[in-house]
Amino acid sequence: MTELLRRGRASLAFSFFAQGVAFALLVTRIPAIQDRYGVSDALLPVFLAAVPILAGVGSVTTEHLVKRIRPSRLLRWSQPVVLLALLGVGSGDAMAELAVALGVFGLAVGALDASMNMLGVSLQRSYGRSIMLGFHAVYSLGGIAGASLAWAGAHWHLPLWVSYLPVVAVLLPAVLVGSRWYVDGDAGAVKDADREGGEARPVVFKLLLPLCLVMTFAYIGDSTVSNWSAKYLQDVLGSSEQLATVPYNVYMVTTLLGRAIGDLGVRRFGAVAVVRLGALVAALGFAVVAGAPGAWVGMLGFTLLGLGLCVLVPQTFAAAGRLFPGASDTAVARLNVFNYVGFLIGSPLVGALGDAWSYRGAMLVPMVLVLVTLVYARSFAAQPDRYGVGHERPRTADVGPGSNGL
């Protein structure tokens, strides 16, 4: 069983990595995609909004599919579809082809994100200790790798399909081979432990709502950094164009570092303490950005944001699994929808406030929303940090490979 869990953990970690690469290759080459297909500035937001909306549909669909199909099977086939859709984005010529490719990408990403996190939550339950932050750390590493490949493609003026094809050619067979070792959680024992009056505890949205709000607020903060950090540094803090590209890279690196050590913090201090600290550090980061007198102080703020925000999303998925151990797949699928809600709200919200008020003032809004997480922090210690049929086993031996809990 130990060997099975080790292989399942490693193969799922690689799936997170591949998804990080694919998503970064898409979002960091948006200007090139716009130029290739002649998408106007007015039409571009429609295309960009369609992806998270369809991803939400894919996540909701996954909730129903897992009642008949194991999450591992959904992940095994949705990830290749995402990679092929990415290649389709880079290979088409007509606007209709772009629409189809992005539509397929969005639907498949929703299923992929949901099924990946379902497997992560069930593996964490099998381990009896926090490992979710490690999976998301590997996702961040994939994002850095994908962004670096995208930079190389832009630097050498490579056609999109030339940038995407080698990546897909490597990752596609690798994820298919790795999918042989995915491990589905055995929900039977969990349901037996959770029975009250002969029924497994269903997902009650009222109980899930605090986690949904935290997920939304976290992604509002994340999308603020990804969409507005460069513009803020250049237009508000007066940095050079080259320096303005640095904050997001710093944010990605600090996100990776924070997640790489985050599981150790959860094991030592508990999820509630880690979430509270993350929310406070993120709020401090937004405050520093809003009040920064110059570019370097602003970059310090974005560094703090990476360290603070990085723990919230993985711990929110983990908390949903603890709250509904007999129906964790359903809880994760519903919670995952609010990933895309936050993404859709964040960028337009900051842009509208920046135009109507000021961009410094706009940075205070996600700061306040992140602070609201403190109100819901107790939701991260549901019953209390229960995994499987008992409770968290903090002294369980670590059987996973790697120095970062993977």
CATH number at residue 240: 1.20.1250.20
402, part of any domain: no
Same domain, 84 and 145: yes
Same domain, 137 and 175: yes
393, part of any domain: no
CA separation (Å) from 270 to 126, 128, 165, 277, 386? 18, 13, 43, 11, 12
Residue 159 vs residue 243, higher pLDDT: 159
Q: Which of 7, 110, 118 is nearest to 69 (CA)?
A: 118
Residue 60: pLDDT over 90: yes
Residue 401: pLDDT over 80: no
Mean pLDDT of the 320-345 span: 94
281, part of any domain: yes
Same domain, 177 and 196: no
Q: Which of 235, 211, 238, 227 is nearest to 337 (CA)?
A: 211
| Percent above pLDDT 70 for the chain | 90
Same domain, 147 and 218: no
> How many structural domains comprise the chain?
2
Same domain, 228 and 374: yes
394, part of any domain: no
Residue 39 vs residue 405, higher pLDDT: 39
Mean pLDDT of the 87-93 span: 95
Same domain, 172 and 206: no
Same domain, 239 and 123: no
Same domain, 166 and 203: no
Where does a domain end: 182, 200, 224? 182
Where does a domain end: 182, 207, 234? 182
78, part of any domain: yes
Does the CA dihedral 35-38-43-49 come out positive or negative?
negative
Same domain, 150 and 20: yes
Kindly report, residue by residue over 225-271, the tens digit of the pLDDT: 988 998 899 899 998 877 887 888 889 999 999 999 999 999 999 99
69, part of any domain: yes
Same domain, 96 and 177: yes
**Phi, psi (rounded to 5 degrees) for 245:** -80, -10
187, part of any domain: no
Residue 59 near residue 111 (C-beta atoms within 8 A): yes
What's residue 1's pLDDT? 58
Same domain, 196 and 114: no
Which residues constitute the domain of residue 110?
1-182
Structure-token pair, residue 211: 């986690």
Same domain, 175 and 322: no
267, part of any domain: yes
What's residue 190's pLDDT? 45
